[in-house]
Amino acid sequence: MKNKVIHTTILTLFLNGYSLASSYAVVNGEKLTDEDIKPILGMFHKAETFDQLNENEKIMVLDQSIERKLIIQNAGEKKFEERDDFKKIVDDFKKRLLIEFWMKQKMQSVKVNDEDIKSFFEKNRDKYPKEAKLEEYENEIKDAVKMEKFQLLVDETLSKMKKDAKIDFTGGVKVNYK
């Protein structure tokens, strides 16, 4: 009961304009900041900022952010990050994140111009209704062309990377990249 009163008091003070130096609360000595609230805000609300929420939504976001902070604190006390199984999961996640960033960088480098769109439309004219106009399908075509160019770029890049890499096959099966 005492925790509920403290929790409600903190939320009420905040909602009435009280701010603790760019933090929303202090949980066991740690400030609850925008960075702590962002994951909850993003999962449950269309609002981009905390201030765009109504009072009930603010209370819900703060409560869930506090719960998240408490779980993280508790997990830290249990020293999960020192466990081998935790380290393996983090390492795997890091590798997947590296791949995702690499792919995103490649996708951002792909450019599609009006000529690419027009050429695609003309080459695939038989796949569209006779009376179809390029403008009706322009966005769809742009996406398709971008994906084609992206796939070609990735294939070419990986092919070059394989040719340039020193790969020693040790499992009995060989792949010829040259």
Label residues 139-152 b or e (16+ Cβ within 10 Å = b).
Answer: eebbeebbeebbee
Residue 5 has pLDDT above 50, yes or no: no
The CATH number of the domain covering residues in 2-78: 1.10.8
Positive or negative: CA dihedral 36, 38, 43, 45: positive
Under DSSP, the state recorded for 25 is E
pTM of the model: 0.65
Digit-coded pLDDT (tens) for 121-175: 999 999 999 899 999 999 999 999 999 999 999 999 999 999 999 989 998 899 9
What ranges do the domains of the chain cover?
Answer: 2-78, 84-164
Which of 19-23, 53-57, 168-172 is the least confident region?
A: 19-23
Residue 56: its H or E element: helix 55-77
- Say how far apart CA 116 and CA 14 lie, in whole Å: 54
